[in-house]
Amino acid sequence: MSDRSSSSALPPISWPQYLKARGIRPRKGLGQHFLIDERILARIAEAAELEPGEWALEIGAGPGTLTRHLALRADHVVAVEIDERFLPLLQEVLSPFPNVAIVPGDILKMDPDALVQGHPYRAIGNIPYYITSAILRHLMEAPRKPRRIVLTVQLEVARRITAKPGAMSLLAVSVQVYGQPRVVERIKAGAFWPRPEVDSAVVVIEPYERPAVDLRDPDWFFEVVRAGFSQRRKQLHNALRHGLGLPDAFVRAALAEARIDPGRRAETLSLEEWARLSAALQSFGERGTQKAP
């Protein structure tokens, strides 16, 4: 177990110089911007509110800037990193922490429960936008869900995650079906290296024991939602018709059964309305009115 001592006990590291000296350059293709402000790193670790007996699952450890702070607070840290360049560096940076296990690979191809060996855990990560939805769904649909998820994302992504009906997005639906998100801190761009063009934010997600709505078939539910948002400027019946490849009459009938005006747009629908709509489309197909994909 870690001593849960103050982050001020950590030896200071000048991260840009440290990484440059070891030939490490961030990869734009992986959306790499490393959070190096020690005060903010400490606050992110605190936001996880790790309790005795809980493990920390860090997604995208990078050079270990946040891992060090988590190691002071967690009984055990599993640090997953897909970029092999960082593995020797992580071994070096984290050598003072016997409670950290470094795991190379893609979190989307791993079983979170196996990684934490069945222990209760909290997931923490600084992840790029393009895989945010996939990682969240991977965690939330696991047999053993994390007790809390703490993500550092671009500020605009944080706003999308926490949006309400009227300004919903595919990402908002993907997150809010499985948990309650809230923004706990805004992070200025200067806290990262290299400095990004936009500010970021820390989002805390409290997972539900069960999804917020009845997901009769999660894959079909998300296929319907993706189709709805595929052409956001179009009315919902047109977006669904094109996105799902279904006749307009069939789509309109399903919308009527779900009690949704076909002229609405996807961003206005609530989670409950999406659940009713996906169920109506699926039940119509099962009845043979039109086979759903």
What does the alpha-carbon distance between residue 21 and residue 153 come to, in Å, rounded to a whole number?
Answer: 27
- What's the pLDDT at 27? 80
Cα 279 from Cα 225, distance rounded (Å): 12
Peptide bond preceding 262 in cis form (omega within 30 of 0): no
Supply the pLDDT for residue 25: 85
How far is C-alpha 27 from the chain's CA centre? 20
As a whole number of angstroms, the longest Cα–Cα distance in the chain is 67
Cβ-based neighbours of 249, under 8 Å, separated by 6 or more: none
Tens digits of residue pLDDT in 25-34 = 888 776 788 9
Question: What pLDDT does residue 2 have?
Answer: 46
Enclosing H/E stretch for 192: strand 192-193
Q: Is the pLDDT of residue 148 over 90?
A: yes
pLDDT of residue 8: 64
- Cα 44 to its chain centre, rounded Å, is 15
Cα gap 168→29, rounded to integer Å: 27
Return the half-sphere exposure (C-beta side, CA atoms, 13 A cut-off) of residue 9: 13
Q: Is the predicted pLDDT of residue 207 greater than 60, yes or no?
A: yes
Per-residue pLDDT of 27-70, as tens digits, reads: 877 678 899 999 999 999 999 999 999 999 999 999 999 999 99
Q: How far apart are CA 21 and CA 41, in angstroms?
A: 22
User: Which amino acid is it at 77?
Assistant: V
Residue 199 has pLDDT above 60, yes or no: yes
Domains and CATH numbers, the chain: 7-207 (3.40.50.150), 218-286 (1.10.8.100)
CA distance between the termini of the chain: 50
Which of residues 293 and 85 earns the better pLDDT score?
85
CA Rg value for the chain: 21
Reported residue count of the chain is 293
Q: How many CB atoms lie within 10 A of CB 24?
A: 19
